[in-house]
Amino acid sequence: MPCYDFRCRSCGATFELSRPMAQANDPAVCPEGHQDTVKLLSTVAVTGAAGAAPQPASGGGCCGGGCCG
């Protein structure tokens, strides 16, 4: 189940909720009980391909780097 970040505009708190995607845009209630909240962009959406770290080439595990040879 995806996580969504919300921010409370009443007290400024940010909090995270796990909910089905179908309810992603439903109103969320702040842990303090405030209902004036906004949904933030998920961290998944923020970190796009531009920030992707290069992955090491697949070399067959340990021996790929020559540590066994």
Interface residues toward Zn ion, by CB under 5 A = 8, 10-11, 13, 30, 32, 34
Least distance CB 27 / Zn ion (angstroms): 13
Least distance CB 28 / Zn ion (angstroms): 10
Nearer to Zn ion among residue 10 and residue 43 (C-beta): 10
Least distance CB 60 / Zn ion (angstroms): 52
Nearer to Zn ion among residue 13 and residue 40 (C-beta): 13
Residues 59, 22 contacting (CB under 8 angstroms): no
What letter represents residue 20's amino acid? P
Dihedral angle, C-alpha 55, 60, 65, 69, nearest 10 °: 180
Residues 6, 16 contacting (CB under 8 angstroms): yes
